[in-house]
Amino acid sequence: MQATCEAHPNIALVKYWGVRDPERALPFNSSLSVTLDRFRTRTTVRFDPSLKADRVVLNGTEAGPGPRDGVVRFLDRVRSTARVNAFADVDSDNNFPTATGLASSASGFAALAGAASAAAGLALSDRELSRLARFGSGSAARSVFGGFVEWRAGTRADGSDCYAVPLYPARHWPSLVDLVVLVEGAPVKAMRSSEAMQWTVRSSPQYARRQAELPARLAKIRRAIGARDPDRLFPLVMEECDSFREVCETTVPSLDYLTPTSRAVLAGVRELNRKAGRPVAAYTHDAGAHVHVFTLDRHLGRVRSRLAGIPGVERTLTVRPGPDLLFAPPRPGPGGRGRARSSGSR
Ligand code: DP6
pTM of the predicted model as reported, rounded to 2 decimal places: 0.94
Q: What is the pLDDT of residues 106-158, one digit of tens each?
A: 999 999 999 999 999 999 999 999 999 999 999 999 999 999 999 999 999 99
Residue of the CA atom closest to atom 7 of ligand 1:
193
Residues with C-beta less than 6 Å from any ligand 1 atom: 12, 15-17, 31, 105-106, 137-139, 192-194, 286-287
Going from the Cα of 199 to the center of ligand 1, the distance in angstroms, rounded, reads 14
Looking at the structure, tell me whether residues 63 and 199 fall in a common domain: no
Looking at the structure, tell me whether residues 102 and 36 fall in a common domain: yes
Going from the Cα of 140 to the center of ligand 1, the distance in angstroms, rounded, reads 8
Residue pair 254/301 in contact (Cβ under 8 Å)? The answer is no
C-beta atoms surrounding 227 within 10 Å: 12
| Type and span of the H or E element at 208 | helix 207-226
Looking at the structure, tell me whether residues 256 and 286 fall in a common domain: yes
**The pLDDT value given to residue 104:** 79
As beta bridge partners, residue 150 has 32, 165
Domains held by the chain: number: 2
pLDDT higher than 70, residue 339: no
CATH number at residue 200: 3.30.70.890
Looking at the structure, tell me whether residues 67 and 22 fall in a common domain: yes
What are the φ/ψ torsions at residue 317 (nearest 5 degrees)? -125, 140
Structural domain range at position 202: 176-319
* 17/88 Cα distance (integer angstroms): 32
Looking at the structure, tell me whether residues 282 and 330 fall in a common domain: no
Looking at the structure, tell me whether residues 256 and 290 fall in a common domain: yes
Looking at the structure, tell me whether residues 109 and 219 fall in a common domain: no
Looking at the structure, tell me whether residues 305 and 264 fall in a common domain: yes
Q: How sure is the predictor about 334, in pLDDT bands with cuts at 50, 70 and 90? A: low
CATH number at residue 46: 3.30.230.10
Looking at the structure, tell me whether residues 136 and 15 fall in a common domain: yes
Contacts of 236 (CB under 8 A, 6+ apart): 217, 220, 221, 224
Q: What is the pLDDT of residues 273-312, one digit of tens each?
A: 999 999 999 999 999 999 999 999 999 999 999 999 999 9
Looking at the structure, tell me whether residues 102 and 41 fall in a common domain: yes
